Structure 1
Amino acid sequence: GNISASSSPAPRHRRPSSRRSAGRTHDYASTLSKRERPKPARRARIAPETHGRTLRQADERAERLTTLSRLTRLITSATDSAAAFRGIAEAATILLKAKMAYVWVDHGDETLREGGSFWAGPTVAGHIVRTVPVPRDQSIAGAVLTSCRPEYLEDVQRDPRWRQRALAETSDIHACIALPLIHHDRAVGALIVGFGRRGEFTPEEKNVAGLLADQAAIVIDNARLYEDAGRRQQEAELLADVVRSVNASLDLATVLQRIAEGAREVCRSDMAFIALRDPGGETLSFRQWPGARYEDYRSVQVAPGQGASGMVVTTGRPFRTDRYLEDTRFGPDFLTVARIEDLHAYMAVPITIEDRVEGFLSVANRDDRRLTDRDEHILLRLADHAAVAIHNARLFADNAARRREAEALTELGGAIASSLELEKILSLVVDRACALLGTQRSAVALMSADRPNTAMLFVASRGMSRAFQAMRPLHPRDGTTPTAIAERRPVWSADLLNDPAFNLTPPTRAAVEAEGYRAVLSVPLLLGDRVLGALVTYRDDVGPFSDRQVELMQAFAHQAALALENSRLYEESERRRHESEVFAEVAQAITSSLDIDTVLRRITDSAKELVGSDLAMIGFREGETEAVTVRHRVGSRYTSDSTFRIEPGKGFGGQALLSGRALRTDDYTNDPNFGKDYLSAVVKDESVSAMVVPIKSEERVVGLLYVANRARRPFSDHDEATLLRLADEAGVAIRNAQLFASERESERRYRTLV
């Protein structure tokens, strides 16, 4: 903390010691030691009085500049903010010829705390004079902090805001400079410099004091940044330690104790608490209370809504107060305990597991130290870890009860792994769901491609009539199953026919009454971001489903989703294998035959087969013409001859011919994006959904490949990609045929010439 050691002034004669420095004790080493202070340069002769005064002024200014320079180096190099604050206070007493100086720091509380001070008076020179925090609204430091304006006082002993009156009288403190410490337009503290009796302060003194105030503001900001960095590191270390505890132990008491102690440590609070819901009840009991004075927390129970912590349990939101004993937002239920603890600042956050508040984590202080947003953030993170620990402990305790369920799931998993018979696996799912949940009926409903948000198809069921499988919900609230699919969460009703949460349509209500069930639980079949359908179980009697039953249904639903996905992957694999075989045959046809009609016929047949369309056709440009002549059709009802041509820009295919891009429509007849030049041919074929892709050769569109359905069955991206691959093969075939025809023509001409 000795800033004078950072540089050495030029050698000078020692000036006579001032009264202030002569009375200084050596109990506390000066930050600006007398030996290192700058001294006026040696003079060769005694100057006239005017010249001597000028030299003295120059020496004083040099001393000020040197002191400020050393102070700056101390501030930039010191890791101890207290030493920097004391250096600023000492520099103020030296440069301003003052008796004392204090740096007060604003920590956001109701009082300002001393950052550092220095006394130069004969009775306390060099000593540390202990102080107490000064109130923000009843002190000189608080006044300049609030107003952000300096004050230059003639006599603080007549000012009621001066807090240390006895010390001022003993040390003969009268005049005072009080400056706000402002950093980035924000007041962060105050600099108080005290003097004996004196006249008005000069502009130069005010300027020097302002420079010192700027330095103090920088130190406060640096100290806060350093403290924040240290706290973040401490938080990270604590969280890592908590995670290790959670992962290493299933003993809930051990983990909760570490979390409570860590909360108290990181928030720098006097005490911390953790309380959890009692098993099977709504009240909460205290589990941990490090730092508390009250000795009987084991007998204290907190009901939802009771006291500040009960508010957290009810609302599920954090709660904070700076004056617990005076806060009127909650009832007086625990004021007796709060007075024993002498609670002032208090903060509590919920411990939430699966959207249910299972307890709270709180910290408290016995003084005016406020709890901040940062404290709330770290408490919420610790509460998350507490939730994980609680959940892990419950899972461990519940292991025996779930053994039978696990065996059923293992059986189902084995069936999925050993068989691709989807119907058999889904039947096993609904059977086991009924057996383990004690219900009379179960079913698996799959999404409809036409109306994915509501329409369903029942593919497996137990205990349901044949008529029930024809039921189709008409909107998302038409029963638990469409709601579960739409909201992607389990949905149950204790009495579906009388549940106001649902709006059953007459057909659905009639189907429910005919089947005779009342309670329904529906769980969506989720696979990543996709909803495949729902697993549903039905019970004849009215009543709710337990959390355990919902969890079990979710497990079965997951297995059913895997079975559906395995089936889909198998079908996809088979489709790809079939596509590979078809493309191989097309390639073989291209390489083995130069008959263009044979190759195009094979490509057209393949297009209809691979995309599952009702019809397909292909055509290409002949010679130098721009129109495309249709050369082959499959599945078409159009009986015209092969002279049917598609002109560029006309109709569906004409646009593809011009743009060189693939086009799709779900309803050609009513689609305003395409011309109706060839509508008669479309009507004859009864085409609805259609797709056309260009056949290119060397970047030039030389033909079109077209597919269509006679129902509103849209073509997919995969269908388009398949058609484009076939179009590429057709382009090769057309190019080969053109080259072959050109070669034969050249040969014919050669033979004619010969």
Structure 2
Amino acid sequence: MRRRSGAGTERANSRRRNTKTQKRRGGLKTPRLRNSSAADHRTQSDVAQLTLERDEALEREKATAEVLRVISSSPGELEPVFQAMLGNAVRICEASFGALLRFEGGAWRSAAMLGVPPAFAEFWQRGLQRPGPRTALGRVIETRRTVHIADVTTEPAYVEGEPIFVAAVNLGRFRTVLAVPMLKDNELIGVFAIYRQEVRPFSDKQIELVQNFANQAVIAIENTRLLNELRQRTTDLSEALEQQTATSEVLRVISSSPGELGTVFQTMLVNATKVCEATFGNLTLWEGDGFRAVAVHGETAFTERRKQQPKINIVGYPTLPLARLAASKSVVHVADFRTEQVYLERHPPTVELVEVGGARTLLCVPMLKEDDLIGAIVLYRQEVRPFSNKQIELVKNFAAQAVIAIENVRLLNELRESLQQQTATAEVLRVISSSPGDLGPVYRALLENAVRICQAKFAAMYLGNGETFRLTAEHDAPAAWVEQRRSEGVFRPHPDSGLGLIAAKRQVAYIPDLMQQRAYIERDPRVVANVELAGYRSVLAVPMFKEENELIGAIVIYHQEVRPFSDKLVALLANFAAQAVIAIENTRLLNELRESLEQQTVTSEILGVIAASPTNIQPVLEAIAESSCRLCEAYDSVIFLREGERLCGRAHHGPISMRGEGPIDRGWVTGRAFVDREPVHVHDLRAAADEFPDGSERALRFGHRTTLGIPLLREDEAIGTLLIRRSEVRPFTDKQIALLTTFARQAVIAIENVRLFDELQDKNRQLAEASENKSAFVSSMSHELRTPLNAIIGLTEMMVKNAARFGTEKAQEPLQRVNRAG
């Protein structure tokens, strides 16, 4: 049909030319009638020409409209647009086929082809083409203008064997070629070419039409570029918005769940999986020899298995993606898991991951804190589709946020722990200050805070001498265990128990599982009771040291399950132990101060009694008996003094009947202290029947048990005994013995003072009697001596006055002294 249309066009042109020729040749000789007929014929020819031009214009407009319709219906897709343009150009211009080529980097590539013979199309699509400068494409590059070749076979380049021309003729049977450049701002971006397989040049209007299609192609390319850029920007904005939404959601969860990492991890993983178009994933934490999944997302059989078995072992499998991540601390991106060596080696967990979970593409992003591996975010796709760089960067961002969240939680927990510890310390100090000298509330506060902060089941405090211990306080311990432990009193721990390890090594003792200890395996009764009565498994014992490594006790906390204690909890418990030692020491000093003040007060009172009763020993002895009984927490007190060969009771305080007197021998406590001249301390007099038969019998009769006798010594000579007694077995302390010794000395001082006072009174009486005797003697003798003395005085006076007469001038001075003495 195209050839008929072309022939019709040629016949119309021929008729038009013939009409013009006839008009020129015989126009003057033709009659008027003939002129009218020629005019009609001319009019018909013009109408036909106009009709043809109209049809061609309509065809072009129709083609343009079709191209515009394709452009509007395929935004961003150039292939349909190029095909529509080529189809219309080939059809309207009566070409055999056409091609649209893009010029990039000095070479040509095919963007679209229509009707091109397969052999030439295959030749062209082998790669980028760089035709010579004398080819149609080469001349387009050089001139940036339309190239119209009427017959390729007549071109010198073809004759000389130019490969492109030879292939065009031999493979595509090219003859007439029209190549129109596609220019954007005078920059060549392609060519719109149509071809005929016969020698028939294209008309100017056809060339103009192809030029129009070329311009439309440029516009379409530019519109597509702009649209794609817009789409890319929109996509980028959408991705950024989605990422920001995901990030804001994670930040919201972080801010709304301070200290709760589980919710934060799960939110991060869900958003990372969704935004990165993954099927499932997990967030893991590094544990030194492997990873542990702390968050899992996705509905697959493998994810359910991972939730049940969160531990991921990488030891011995260096080709595992997570093992490579741990070694390199960098992103590991696996395009297809089925091609991985670890899968080909049939590593069971990997095979399960691929064949049960359907994992194909894998992305592992490390979570790093200052080059320290914290964990990893792992995403999986069930199809082979690598993650984009933007998606990898997004997961890196999530990994960084996870590290920040972990660090924030660590800091928050440290702050909370610090506040808890400070609160606990303040509470203990408050108890210490509000209970001076009373250690019970202090012990309870320490153990209660230790159990609460360390999340232990219960706690106990033991005091001892470094080898033996006794239960001093406990908190929340089972009643049966407490009763058993208190009933045994002082005990020596098994060397493999917590207290035994402290006693041996003088350092913190941690037992992960008491049932695995040698002491339990050997069925040590106390350790077995600990497990069976108290049910504890993990044990942490912290020693209590006084001054230079002197072990005075321990604080022990217990878990009823196998669960480790952190270093911070160990440090906290050590702080509590130090506070306990401080409290004990403060209480000791306070009690010593109180005792010292009380002793000084009592001593002052006794001295006051001594001063008030210088001649009466009885009030002093009674005051000493009362004070010794009160200060030494005794049940009864007696003071015996020696009277001849017997010891007689002189003062008594208490409800026990006082023995009036007894022999000076070692058969009873009072007598032995007197004879041995040293304290005698009997812890249980009832149990000392062999050594003190009489005292044991009296103890059974009167109900006393612990007895202490202190001798009253004067210059290493015993003059009596101070005896105190208790109704229970509770030995007196060294301080109490020292205090009683002081009272004994005061009694001796009082007795000695009375003795000296009595002696002084006797001497004074004797001196008074002597003075009276002397006065009587002097009075008697002065009467007898007065007469002769008067004569002597008168003689000496005469001799002094008449010295010259009697010749006594030389004796003048002696005579005057005699005279004055009278």
- TM-score when normalising by structure 1: 0.41
Rg larger in structure: 2
| Structure with more relative contact order (C-alpha pairs < 8 Å, separation 6 or more) | 1
